Amino acid sequence: MLKANSEGVLYLLPVWLGDSGGVELLPPQNIFLAERVKLFFCENERTARRMLRRMSGTIDLNGIELHLLNKDSTSEELSAMAALLGKQDAAILSEAGMPCIADPGARLVAEAHRRNVRVVPLTGPSSLLLALAASGLNGQRFAFHGYLPRDGAERKKAIKVLEQEARRTGGAQLFIETPYRNDVLLADLLATCEGNTLLCIAIDLEQPGGSTETRPVRAWRDRLPALGKRPCVFILGSSLP
């Protein structure tokens, strides 16, 4: 089990990927840490409190300190949060899965390193690695590209670049989208990519009804899935021979 430290450590505390599941999906040390730490950094206070309550009913939610750390946090706000590090153990909570991957928590981790504060990542779900592992695509060489451009023309251009990179290197190309734009992104993928390019769609990972499927683009065109507003990871792989 993790023990209290004389100098504060910044822990990266993973949470669930969706609304289903209990403590059996998280390592016991994560629950132990959540019960002990009093200083948290999160994107959304309501979500953070709900996640902590799911982890343990013994946590006094009135006795913890929560600071909002999101894409709109200013440099001054970030400096104020960083000044709290090293004095007591603290934890970053993501909205889903692993903190600091496609997540603004990375900014605070960078400050922690600059201040020589120890950073400890904890084991937990990461939708990107789960999707890649189940995709059958190249787990030896891959790249994550975050969100593609919102503009339709720019998005199609980015898709073509990723397809060419997958073909040139053989590497898997991972990216995500805001759930309400999933179907628009999928339509652009199917319209832009060559028919023999491999496309993996991993949806609702670790949740009931979740799935990971890898098919040539031409096969997806023949059986167009309705993704809706569910969390997805998309992966482009090199073409079939």
Tell me what pLDDT residue 6 has. 53
Which of 121, 139, 174 marks a domain boundary? 121
Which of 89, 121, 153 marks a domain boundary? 121
For the chain of 241 residues, list the mean pLDDT of each consecutive stretch of 10: 67 96 94 96 95 95 95 94 96 95 94 96 96 96 96 97 96 95 96 96 95 96 89 90 53
Q: Following DSSP, what letter does each residue of the chain receive, concatenated?
A: -----SS--EEEE---SSS---GGGS-HHHHHHHHH--EEEES-HHHHHHHHHHH-TT--TTSSEEEE--TT--HHHHHHHHTTTTSS-EEEE-SSSSTTSSSTHHHHHHHHHHTT--EEEPP---HHHHHHHHH-S-SSSEEEEEEPPSSHHHHHHHHHHHHHHHHHH--EEEEE--GGGHHHHHHHHHHHS-TTSEEEEEESTTSTT-EEEEEEHHHHHHS-----SS-EEEEEEPPP-
Say yes or no: 171 and 74 in one domain: no
Domain count, the chain: 2
Say yes or no: 117 and 145 in one domain: no
Tell me what pLDDT residue 4 has. 47
Which of 74, 91, 121 marks a domain boundary? 121
Q: What is the pTM of this model?
A: 0.91
Say yes or no: 28 and 111 in one domain: yes
Is 1 inside any structural domain?
A: no
Q: Name the residue range of residue 27's domain.
A: 10-121
CATH of the domain at 107: 3.40.1010.10
